[in-house]
Structure 1
Amino acid sequence: MTELIRTGTRSRFDSIVIDSPANRNALSLRLLTEALNAVRDSARGAGRGLVIEHAGPAFCSGVDLKERRALAREDQSHSRLLADLLRELWRYPKPVVVFVDGAVRGGGLGVLSCADLVVATTASTFAYSEARVGVAPALVMAVTLATASSRELMPHLLTGAAFDAATAESLGLVGRVVDTAERFDVDGVLGSFTHGAPAAQAVIKQLSRDWVTRDVSAVLHQMTVLSAELFAGDEAREGMTAFAEHRPPHWHDDRPMPSETNTP
Structure 2
Amino acid sequence: MTVIGRTRTRGIETLSLDSPDTRNALSASLVRELADALAECGKDADVRAVVLTHTGNTFCAGADLRDPPPPDALVAVLRQIVELPKPVVARVTGHVRAGGLGLLAACDIAVGSTSATFAFTEVRIGVAPAVISLPLLPRTDPRALARYYLTGERFDATEAVRAGLLTAAAGDVDEALAPILDGLRRAAPEALAETKRLLTARVLETFDRDAADLTALSARLFGSAQAREGMTAFLERRDPAWVV
Q: Give the alignment's TM-score, normalised by structure 1.
A: 0.87
**Aligned counterparts, 1:1-16, within 5 A:** 2-16=1-15
* C-alpha contact 1:87 1:217 (8 A) present in aligned 2: no
- Tell me how far apart the structure 2 counterparts of residues 107 and 43 of structure 1 sit (CA, whole Å): 23
Of 119, 122, 142, the match for 2:114:
122
Counterpart residue number, 2:54? 54
Which residues of structure 2 form unaligned runs of 5+? none
Residue 35 (str. 1) matches residue 26 (str. 2): no
Say which one has the larger Rg. Answer: 1
Residue 189 (str. 1) matches residue 180 (str. 2): yes
The CA deviation at 1:187 is 4.5
Deviation by residue 1:3-34 (Cα, 9 ceiling, x = unmatched): 10012212311210111000111111111110
- Tell me how far apart the structure 2 counterparts of residues 31 and 210 of structure 1 sit (CA, whole Å): 27
Of 142, 151, 155, the match for 2:143:
151
**More divergent stretch after superposition (145-154 vs 43-52):** 145-154
**Aligned counterparts, 1:1-264, within 5 A:** 2-46=1-45, 47-68=47-68, 77-181=69-173, 183-212=174-203, 214-253=205-244
Tell me the number of residue pairs that the alignment of Structure 1 and Structure 2 aligns: 243
Q: Give the alignment's TM-score, normalised by structure 2.
A: 0.94
- Tell me how far apart the structure 2 counterparts of residues 20 and 140 of structure 1 sit (CA, whole Å): 21
| Higher helix proportion (structure 1 or 2) | 2
CA pair 209-188 structure 1, distance change in 2 beyond 3 A = closer
* C-alpha contact 2:111 2:176 (8 A) present in aligned 1: no
Q: What is the identity, as a one-letter code, of the residue corresponding to 2:39? A: R
Deviation by residue 1:80-119 (Cα, 9 ceiling, x = unmatched): 2211110101111111111101110111111111112111
The CA deviation at 1:228 is 0.9
Runs of 4 or more above 6 Å deviation: none
Q: Aligned Cα RMSD in Å?
A: 1.6
